Amino acid sequence: MTTETLTRPPVAPDTGGRPRPSKWIWTWLYAGAFAVAALLLVVVGYLGAGIAGGHVDWMELLTESAWSPTNSVFGGLAMIYGTAVVCALALVIAVPVSWGAAVALSEYLPPRLARPLRMCVELLAAVPSIVYGLIGIMVLRPVISKIADVPGGDSLAAAGIVLAVMITPTIVAVSVDALTAVPDRVREAAYSLGLTRREVVRSAVLPPARSGMRAAVLLGLARALGEAIAVFLVVGRADGRLPTSFGEFLDSLSHPGQTLTTKLAGPEPVLAGTSGPYFAAICGLGLVLLALVAAATVWGTRGRDRGAASERPLKFRGTARLRQQRDRLVMTLRLGALLLPSLLLVGMLALLVTRGSSAFDPSFWFTSATGAAGGGVRDQIVGTVLLIATTGILALPLGFGAGILIGIHASERTARVLQTVTVILGGAPTILLGLAGFVILSTTMGWGRSWLAGAIVLVPVVVPVIALTTSARVRSIPAELTESAMSLGLTRAQYVRSVVVPYTWPATITGLLLGLARAAGETAPLLFTATVFFGAPMVPSGIVESPVQALPTHIFTLSQDSGDPQAVTQAWGSAMVLVLITAVLLSAAVALRNRFEGERWTT
Amino acid sequence: MDNVITVRELRVRSRDKTLVGPVSFDVGQGSTTGLCGPSGAGKSTILRALVELLPNGLTRDGELQVLDRTIAPGKGDADLRAKIVLVPQVPVVFGGSILDNALFGLRHVLRASQGVLKERAEKALEEAGLWKEVADRLDSPAQNLSAGQRQRLCLARALALEPAGLLLDEPTSALDERSRDKVEQSIAALHGRRAVLLVSHDPSQVERLCDTTVNLDQPVAASPAAAVG
């Protein structure tokens, strides 16, 4: 037997440098963060420039109710009143129902039922607002007109109800998240002390979940404040007078009104030009709206970690029998509250499927529209896909960079500031994005209506969603993983490249899909910047003056012509197609999330 | 001596198979009974079966009697849980002060003035061996307590209900030696006054504290994670 000496292959001499130092990573992360800040600055900046370009009488804008551009009278109080009434009505209806439903979903239903139902609620929360608007105009308006004896049924009440329906799924979904974040051992500890289910929920589960549930309401409120399209279709858009007595107030509910967003979504911003007092007043209204939404969003997302330390001392609440009866009563109420959103879901599905049945005919997908309201919607589908694909390509690197930077804390303060900026950008009313795009891209840069302008205007809708999902994922990186990586001598940049990015990208893709699902249904930003109702080629050539047709704006235009049965059929069909597209994007996002982030649907 | 808890042929099953049992045992008035076995034998599951807090999808059968009341499977309620109180393995501290926590269960089941409630809380804290350490800061947040103090606070919270029996699930498993000794002293002090069913994987602890021992030998594949639906 011979012995061989095994020799190692020679090792290349140590060059002394680090392989792949990845310094470029920082450039990318800061570029992303800078883009987020710049986008918000652009929106605020154009409003500011507009205000500076003409004299705004803030006293008049905030305290006078008459709005008459021909007489140079710009009072916005009636619109602020309209916004307040509509949002208050929406909250009064939506909050009790949503909270009850959320508690029922997370505390009462067995997981077998709660899981699919929770998924449905999340799907419902992503239904494009134009679809809610369509339902409002086709279903709700006739009912209101019959009850309140208003011709047409356009009214503040109708707008409030549509908004309530629209924000209920959002509030339920976020509240359920807050409730399921309470660990089961807390429930067990309370049950094992002899509490009834109602008492367990009230004393052990709600206190830690309360701030999250309050945040859910504020997020819903932000959505209601910023919603333009669904309200536009049912509110009647009459510059109203302010009520002076309670009777007049009640009366005003059943009459047409105007809100801040509907004023901005109407024809006036286009008529106002791009400078002068008229435009300045419009920009002033926009700034008021942005401030309201930003306040609600920031208030809603901060201070989640504050514990519920100041709990009111509970007094004893009755005998054993009374406790049981109360337990049963509350259970009935909560399950009843759950019934409403469930019925809503079933009703909406039934409406869409029966009225939008043309969407199940393949020729509807693959032929282009003929005449005013005939044929299929091929061009609109292609246009929508083109818009959101371009938006996705533009938004992905920016959102990813910003999200990672927020997550890994360049410094605690930058992260906090950046997070706030991202949240505000995410909550910015999309009508304002559309107006900014109209003023900057279409008018100043002379693009006219352009698909690229539309895609750019949608970028601020998608970027915050990507950034926030990404940063949440970065924060969930186990501390040991970071510690081990750093103690092996990686630089920060190498740590980002080898640990953070591989760990995070699935969440980023989820965020991208969620954001695109939202962008696909956006109507307001596209109206002035990118789309025409008819006559654009299927695929645009060039950038300047090359509009597309898109599904949401198609539905929007058709639904304003609700007297024409053919237009109505076409609108429902298009809505069904849009919902299907959104649902596909969303299911892909949910599937990805479950695949990569572990089972999330646990109750 | 009367039994507080009587268990005959108790089984815990999922839809298609038996996960734990059958076991039979008694817990007498004032006695301390140990429930021993290797990890995964279903010790915690049995405790949860007694108070109807099994994870979703698991059911109990067999006979269960608490004091003079026979509890049919699925019929356990809040009243039962106030009579034999489960103290989970990981101490859960609710928001609010130490006093709030000590009264967390009691204020739901007893109609009494604040003064009486407070008196009961003090007594319970004393019984759990925590009184001396917290007497001067009853109104400070309970979250600031150490792990050992939290465990004894959970014990006090249960004792405040003046239950007939206590079900202790590995009360010292997460504690260092000194805290463990303190908790063990508190448990030993209950002897003769309360019926205690103590789950432990530490034979020497059972030796120190218990009069009788129930051994669970066959490991089963039950997941101890409890979910209350």
Mean pLDDT over all residues of chain A?
81
Q: Is the pLDDT of residue A179 over 70?
A: yes
The count of other CB atoms within 10 Å of the CB of residue B17 is 8
Give per-residue pLDDT as tens, A205-237. Answer: 888 888 888 888 888 888 888 888 888 888 888
Which pLDDT band, with edges at 50, 70 and 90, does A43 fall under? confident
> Which of these ranges, A501-515, A533-547, A583-597, B35-49, has the smallest mean pLDDT?
A533-547
Distance CA A283, CA A439 (A): 11
ipTM above 0.85? no
Which pLDDT band, with edges at 50, 70 and 90, does A164 fall under? very high
Task: Output the pLDDT for position A100.
Answer: 92
Angle CA(A430)–CA(A431)–CA(A436) in degrees, nearest 5? Answer: 95
Task: Output the pLDDT for position A13.
Answer: 63
Q: Is the pLDDT of residue A310 over 80?
A: no
Q: Is the pLDDT of residue A560 over 50?
A: yes
- B120 at A interface, C-beta within 8 A: no
Given A194, A203, A317, which is nearest B161 (Cβ)? A194
Segments in A20-128 forming alpha helices (H): 24-53, 58-63, 77-103, 111-125
- B108 at A interface, C-beta within 8 A: yes
Mean local confidence (pLDDT), A167-181: 87
* The two structure tokens encoding residue A19: 């392989």
* The two structure tokens encoding residue A214: 């309050």
Task: Output the pLDDT for position A18.
Answer: 66
Residue A509 identity: I
Distance CA A404, CA A426 (A): 17
Mean local confidence (pLDDT), A327-333: 86
User: In chain B, which residues have their Cβ closer than 8 Å to the Cβ of A309?
Assistant: 95-96, 141
* Alpha-carbon distances, residue A299 vs A108, A250, A279, A302, A416 (angstroms): 30, 30, 30, 6, 14
- B83 at A interface, C-beta within 8 A: yes
Which pLDDT band, with edges at 50, 70 and 90, does A11 fall under? low
Q: Decide if A541 contacts A428 (C-beta within 8 A).
A: no
User: In chain B, which residues have their Cβ closer than 8 Å to the Cβ of A188?
Assistant: 53, 86, 88, 92, 226, 228
- Whether residues A193 and B81 touch (CB distance < 8 A) is answered with yes
Q: Is the pLDDT of residue A336 over 60?
A: yes
Q: Is the pLDDT of residue B204 over 80?
A: yes
Distance CA A136, CA A234 (A): 7
Task: Provide the pairing of β-strand B18-28 with B32-36.
Answer: unpaired
Q: Is A525 exposed, middle or buried (0-12, 13-18, 19+ CB in 10 A)?
A: buried
Closest-CA distance of chain A to residue B201, Å: 21
User: In chain A, which residues have their Cβ closer than 8 Å to the Cβ of B108?
Assistant: 193-196, 199, 203, 314, 316-317, 323
Q: Decide if B228 contacts A184 (C-beta within 8 A).
A: yes
* The two structure tokens encoding residue A326: 């109360």
User: In chain B, which residues have their Cβ closer than 8 Å to the Cβ of A209?
Assistant: none
Mean local confidence (pLDDT), A110-122: 84
Mean local confidence (pLDDT), A319-346: 84
- Name residue, tokens 């809708």: A461
Extended strands (E) in A304-425: 369-370, 374-375
Comparing C-alpha atoms, which of B68, B48, B67 is closest to residue B58? B48
Distance CA B199, CA A87 (A): 55
User: In chain B, which residues have their Cβ closer than 8 Å to the Cβ of A314?
Assistant: 107-108
The count of other CB atoms within 10 Å of the CB of residue A441 is 23
Q: Is B220 exposed, middle or buried (0-12, 13-18, 19+ CB in 10 A)?
A: middle
Angle, helices A276-301 vs A206-226, to 10°: value is: 170
Q: What is the DSSP string of B167-207?
A: EEESTTTTS-HHHHHHHHHHHHHHTTTSEEEEEES-HHHHH
Between A589 and B197, whose confidence is greater? B197
Portion of chain A with pLDDT greater than 70, in percent: 90
* 3-state SS class at B4: strand
Mutate to test the interface with B, among A192, A196, A324 (most CBs of B within 10 A): A192
User: In chain A, which residues have their Cβ closer than 8 Å to the Cβ of B99?
Assistant: none
Q: Is the pLDDT of residue A94 over 90?
A: yes
Distance CA A194, CA A501 (A): 48
Q: Which residues contact A546 (CB under 8 A, 6 or more apart)?
A: A449, A450, A451, A536, A540
Task: Output the pLDDT for position A405.
Answer: 87
Distance CA B227, CA A583 (A): 31
Give per-residue pLDDT as tens, B80-117. Answer: 888 888 888 888 888 788 888 888 888 777 777 788 88
Mutate to test the interface with A, among B99, B103, B138, B228 (most CBs of A within 10 A): B228
Which pLDDT band, with edges at 50, 70 and 90, does A601 fall under? very low
Between A538 and A332, whose confidence is greater? A332
* Alpha-carbon distances, residue A113 vs A50, A105, A244, B140 (angstroms): 52, 9, 49, 41
Which pLDDT band, with edges at 50, 70 and 90, does A488 fall under? confident
- Whether residues B226 and A185 touch (CB distance < 8 A) is answered with yes
Give per-residue pLDDT as tens, B139-172. Answer: 888 888 888 888 889 889 888 888 888 898 888 8
Q: What is the CATH number of domain B3-215?
A: 3.40.50.300
Distance CA A577, CA A361 (A): 11
Q: Provide the β-strand partners of residue B32.
A: B196
Q: Decide if A32 contacts A398 (C-beta within 8 A).
A: yes
- Whether residues A307 and B112 touch (CB distance < 8 A) is answered with no
Q: Decide if A323 contacts A317 (C-beta within 8 A).
A: yes
Task: Output the pLDDT for position A392.
Answer: 92
Q: Is the pLDDT of residue A91 over 90?
A: yes
Angle, helices A77-103 vs A156-180, to 10°: value is: 40
The residue ranges of every structural domain in chain B are: 3-215
Q: Is the pLDDT of residue A61 over 90?
A: no
- Name residue, tokens 């081990």: A484
Which pLDDT band, with edges at 50, 70 and 90, does B229 fall under? very low
- Calculated CA dihedral for residues A116, A121, A125, A130, nearest 10 degrees: 90
For the domain made up of A54-299+326-355, give the CATH fold: MetI-like fold (1.10.3720)
Q: Is the pLDDT of residue B219 over 50?
A: no
* Alpha-carbon distances, residue B100 vs A315, A317, B143, B167, B171 (angstroms): 11, 16, 12, 22, 21
Q: What is the DSSP letter of A359?
A: G
Give per-residue pLDDT as tens, A387-403. Answer: 899 999 999 999 999 98
Mean local confidence (pLDDT), A125-149: 84
Q: What is the DSSP string of B6-25?
A: EEEEEEEE-SSSEEEEEEEE
Mean local confidence (pLDDT), A179-204: 87
The residue ranges of every structural domain in chain A are: 54-299+326-355
Angle CA(B23)–CA(B28)–CA(B31) in degrees, nearest 5? Answer: 110
Mutate to test the interface with B, among A103, A185, A193, A603 (most CBs of B within 10 A): A193
